[in-house]
Amino acid sequence: MKIGIIGLGKMGQNHLNELAKNPHFKINALLDLYQNSNLRQFDNIFFNNLDEFIKQNNDIIIIATPTNSHLDIAKKVLNSAKALLIEKPLALNLAQIEELKQIAQNKKIAVGFCERFNPAVLALKQNLKDEKIISINIQRFSPYPQRINDVGILHDLAVHDLDLIRFLSQKNITKAKIIKRFTQDENRESESILACELEGIIASLHQSWNCSLKLRKIHLITEKHFFEANLADFKLLKDGKEIQVEKSSPLFNEHQALLNLINNKEHFLANIDDAYEVQKILEEEN
């Protein structure tokens, strides 16, 4: 499957590195305004002109550029590939998501909520098949990331957690309250806590860029069991006992799901509607 990547920042290069190891894909074209030294091996397929990139007949295109460019780029490449994967957040606001949905009817567009494909999350979801969820708690802490300069922690990290509670529960968020703090930058929040209700399930989500340690955990209570998923170490505990997790890269799993999307097979990829539901919570509470 021929794949092209637009945007070779950190996330774009993460996709590139993972795809280079995957025999199911051929890296067909790369597009960025600048080519740094570690991409010299791709000189023959590197472009800085979108029109030339489009001519390369990509089967799949990944858009990993800054959020404010997603809509314009998607409009231009929509009809040049079998499927698009657009990194999260999908767009700047609900209006842009609605516009994309209108022009992308009957098109295969996935949104890059890659935490769905974390091995610990996949194992947790598998173990929830016969469970009735009571509550979900997610913590996501790290030092302040210098690479982020276009969005705050809500659009960078909380979107993952809002998507995860919908993904794990298979229910919609009916109520939400957001508290946020600006400690590093007066224009971008660096700490947030969200309290949510999902058709009877309660969830608490805490994101921080003010922590010296990295922590990514899910605590989930059902009527019968207590689960703890460590998203950093790909580990899952059920009532304190470790459950075997098939360890693989979340991006590898996401890329395999793209193949299923193209071949009309079952996949766990987020779509435009999922991104809309997440963005709706952020806009209603701000």
75 and 19, same domain (yes or no):
yes
The domain boundary, picked from 114, 137, 156, lies at 114
Find the domain containing 14 and state its range.
2-114
Residues 31-80 have pLDDT tens digits of: 998 877 778 899 999 999 999 999 999 999 999 999 999 999 999 999 99
3-class SS at 199? coil
| pTM, full prediction | 0.94
The domain boundary, picked from 64, 92, 114, lies at 114
Mean of pLDDT over the chain:
96
Q: How far apart (Å, rounded) are the C-alpha atoms in residues 158 and 164? A: 10
51 and 133, same domain (yes or no):
no
95 and 228, same domain (yes or no):
no
In a domain, 256, yes or no: no
Per the listing, tokens 């997610």 go with 138
Give the phi and the psi of residue 151 in degrees, each rounded to 5: -140, 160
Q: How far apart (Å, rounded) are the C-alpha atoms in residues 1 and 266? A: 18
Q: For position 90, which CATH number holds?
A: 3.40.50.720
Torsion of CA 167, 175, 90, 204, to 10 degrees: -60
134 and 97, same domain (yes or no):
no
In a domain, 125, yes or no: yes
Residues 189-243 have pLDDT tens digits of: 999 999 999 999 999 999 999 999 999 999 999 999 999 999 999 999 999 999 9
156 and 77, same domain (yes or no):
no
In a domain, 258, yes or no: no
Q: For position 235, which CATH number holds?
A: 3.30.360.10
Q: How far apart (Å, rounded) are the C-alpha atoms in residues 161 and 183? A: 21
The domain boundary, picked from 62, 97, 114, lies at 114
- Residue 3: name the closest of 52, 48, 62, 66 by CA: 62
Residue 286: band (very low, low, confident or very high) from pLDDT cuts 50, 70, 90: low
The amino acid that residue 151 corresponds to is V
User: How does strand 26-31 pair with strand 2-6?
Assistant: parallel
In a domain, 259, yes or no: no
Residues 77-109 have pLDDT tens digits of: 999 999 999 999 999 999 999 999 999 999 999
Residue 4: band (very low, low, confident or very high) from pLDDT cuts 50, 70, 90: very high
110 and 138, same domain (yes or no):
no
88 and 71, same domain (yes or no):
yes
104 and 206, same domain (yes or no):
no
Number of domains in the chain: 2
3-class SS at 17? helix
202 and 85, same domain (yes or no):
no
Dig out the tokens for 120 from the structure: 């610990």
Q: Mean pLDDT over residues 129-149, rounded?
A: 92
